[in-house]
């Protein structure tokens, strides 16, 4: 212990190396499992590999290949449709449920929150395993339920029909994640200033006007957070379609192929880690671009 350390805010007699000791595991981890793989991924992306042994420099060859491969565009389209559906269908439902809960008394709030959140305990693989059966034609729970409700869909082959596979994925993710995003919206709504709402109501604002002019601006930070997290999560979708397709391929006509599925296929089915790393970088750039775009757009809205 060095007693002559300058007495800063930290107080008496503390070792200058103490914070570094606490941080040491992270620093080692970040160097070995973040910085190195990141640089390695950059290196790999410019090489052709065949198994973990041989590699040849190919310049931009991997990227050229990815950008000319129709499967990449199929994966990109599928993932984008899924992401847009997540934001446009799932988040409004989450917000609606959060608002219903926010106005309820606390005991009811706790019980409903628990129930609606519960699918999040179940990993995507287990959900995929369950829903592979739930979407069975004629016998599946979903097919029967849909038939009972609107008289259609009993015999639909959700998982074999290329037009219905992506909608099925969206329906499943709705079941899984509505409760998750609802928790965030609820936290945001609980911090909305109640006096502002009362003041608006006294001024004669109806509930729609209150919602647009008071609630929305106040929950905007958390809404932006949810939108960005949801986009990032959507672009990394893999486990769910993989399990739904029973680990065999990516559905008829690649209709359940996602970008990560495409990466997995190249890296671990084909064994070409170079192309996989290139796809990984492309995915990183896509996620970066969209996140920055979302931040910019929402911020610009803030200024005016």
Partner 1 sequence: MHTVHWVLIVAAVIYVALRLIPGKGWKIAPAYLRVVLLCMAAFLTLTPFIWLICSAFKDKSIMMQYTFLPPVSDWFNGALNLDNFRHLINVKDISPQGPVSFWQYIVNSIFLSCTITSINIFLSSMAGYALAKYRFRGRNIIAFVMIGSMMFPAMLLLAPLFEMIYKFGWMDTYLALIVPSAITVFGIFLFRQAMVGVPNSLLESARVDGASEFRIYWEITLPLVRPITAAYCLITFLGTWNAFLQPQIFVQTQSKLPLPVVLNQYIGLYVQEYGIFLAGTLLAIIPPAILFFILQKEFVAGLTSGATKG
Q: Which is nearer to partner 1, 38 or 84 (CB)?
A: 38
Question: Are 188 and 222 spatial neighbours (Cβ–Cβ below 8 Å)?
Answer: yes
Q: Which is nearer to partner 1, 26 or 301 (CB)?
A: 26
Q: How many residues does the chain have?
A: 304
DSSP H or E segment with residue 280: helix 273-303
Contacts of 172 (CB under 8 A, 6+ apart): 127, 128, 131, 240, 244
Report DSSP state, residue 176. H
CB of 299 to partner 1, least distance (A): 15
Per the listing, tokens 């008071």 go with 214
CB of 79 to partner 1, least distance (A): 12
Q: Which is nearer to partner 1, 81 or 281 (CB)?
A: 281
CB of 260 to partner 1, least distance (A): 5
CB of 180 to partner 1, least distance (A): 8
Q: Which is nearer to partner 1, 139 or 163 (CB)?
A: 139
Q: What is the largest CA-CA distance in the chain?
A: 82
Q: Which is nearer to partner 1, 128 or 251 (CB)?
A: 128
CA-based nearest residue to 78, from 258, 247, 207: 258
Question: Are 283 and 235 spatial neighbours (Cβ–Cβ below 8 Å)?
Answer: yes
**What's the rounded Cα separation, in Å, for the pair 246 and 91?**
28
CA-based nearest residue to 251, from 173, 168, 137: 168
CB of 207 to partner 1, least distance (A): 9
């Amino acid at each position: 212990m060095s007693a002559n350390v300058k007495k800063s805010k930290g107080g008496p007699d503390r070792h200058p190396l103490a914070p570094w000791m606490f941080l040491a595991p992270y620093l080692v981890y970040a160097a070995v499992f973040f910085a190195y793989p990141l640089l390695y991924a950059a290196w790999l992306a410019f090489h052709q590999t065949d198994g973990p042994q041989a590699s040849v420099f190919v310049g931009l060859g991997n990227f050229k290949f990815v950008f000319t491969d129709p499967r990449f565009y199929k994966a990109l389209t599928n993932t984008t449709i899924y992401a847009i559906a997540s934001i446009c269908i799932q988040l409004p439902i989450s917000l609606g449920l959060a608002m219903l809960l926010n106005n309820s008394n606390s005991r009811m709030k706790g019980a409903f929150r628990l129930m609606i959140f519960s699918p999040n305990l179940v990993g995507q693989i287990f959900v995929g395993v369950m829903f592979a059966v739930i979407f069975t034609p004629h016998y599946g729970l979903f097919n029967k339920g849909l038939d009972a409700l609107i008289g259609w869909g009993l015999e639909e082959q959700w998982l074999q029909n290329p037009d219905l596979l992506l909608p099925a994925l969206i329906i499943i993710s709705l079941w899984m994640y509505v409760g998750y995003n609802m928790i965030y919206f609820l936290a945001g709504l609980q911090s909305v200033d109640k006096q502002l709402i009362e003041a608006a109501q006294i001024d004669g604002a109806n509930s729609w006007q209150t919602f647009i002019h008071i609630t929305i601006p106040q929950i905007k930070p958390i809404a932006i957070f949810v939108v960005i997290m949801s986009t990032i999560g959507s672009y990394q979708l893999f486990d769910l379609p993989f399990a739904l397709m029973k680990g065999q391929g990516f559905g008829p006509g690649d209709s359940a192929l996602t970008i990560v599925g495409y990466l997995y296929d190249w890296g671990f089915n084909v064994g070409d880690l170079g192309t996989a790393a290139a796809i990984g970088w492309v995915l990183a750039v896509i996620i970066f671009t969209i996140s920055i775009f979302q931040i910019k757009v929402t911020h610009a809205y803030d200024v005016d």
